[in-house]
Amino acid sequence: MKYKLIIDKNADEEIIVKVHSPSSLTEQIENLVCGFSGDDYIIGYKNDEMRKLAFSEIECITVIDRRVIAIDTDGCEYKIQDRLRELEDILPSYFIRINKSTLANEHKILRFNAAFSGGVDAVFECGYKDYVSRRCFAEIKRRYEKI
């Protein structure tokens, strides 16, 4: 396999991938390219502070008390002005819905804990826990079975 990257600020951006047959890698490349909006961050607010939050440092985005909150790798909470549905359109494909009010960075999920009641919780690297709905868990299982 060959890899070639040419950086030319004057040229139009173009991505060409030549492969013998489609695979999970080509699917990931397609998702990455199609999901990229040009920005790799969102703006978060905490007290009087405004901060760029890179997608890679966001563990999850959830709704708490009718406010959209992004939780970063340190466990800090930042208010986001966009709605969850709007964020779902601009976030990369590795953000998955785990319930009606939470989008999770699947790279930051440490494990899924099964509760005695039959529910499942997602445990993130920063220590935050959130429940996973049955419908979303079924979709997550299907996604992992493809790998």
The pLDDT assigned to 100 comes to: 94
* Average of per-residue pLDDT across 107-120: 88
Please enumerate in sequence order all residues whose Cβ is within 8 A of that of 140, keeping only pairs 6 or more positions apart, or say none.
Answer: 96, 98, 106, 132
* Average of per-residue pLDDT across 2-22: 82
In contact, 69 and 51? CB cutoff 8 Å:
no
Give the separation between CA 124 and CA 130, rounded to whole angstroms: 9
With a cut of 70, say whether residue 25 has pLDDT above it. yes
The pLDDT assigned to 109 comes to: 94
Percent of the chain clearing pLDDT 70 (strictly above): 95
The pLDDT assigned to 44 comes to: 95
* pLDDT tens readout for residues 39-92: 689 999 999 899 999 999 999 999 999 999 999 999 999 999 999 999 988 888
The pLDDT assigned to 131 comes to: 93
CATH superfamily, domain 37-146, is LytTr DNA-binding domain (2.40.50.1020)
* pLDDT tens readout for residues 100-109: 999 999 999 9
Percent of the chain clearing pLDDT 90 (strictly above): 54
The pLDDT assigned to 37 comes to: 57
* Average of per-residue pLDDT across 142-146: 81
C-alpha count within 13 angstroms, C-beta hemisphere, residue 50:
3
- For the chain, which residues make up each domain, given as ranges? 37-146
As beta bridge partners, residue 46 has: 49
Give 100 or 11, the one with higher predicted confidence.
100
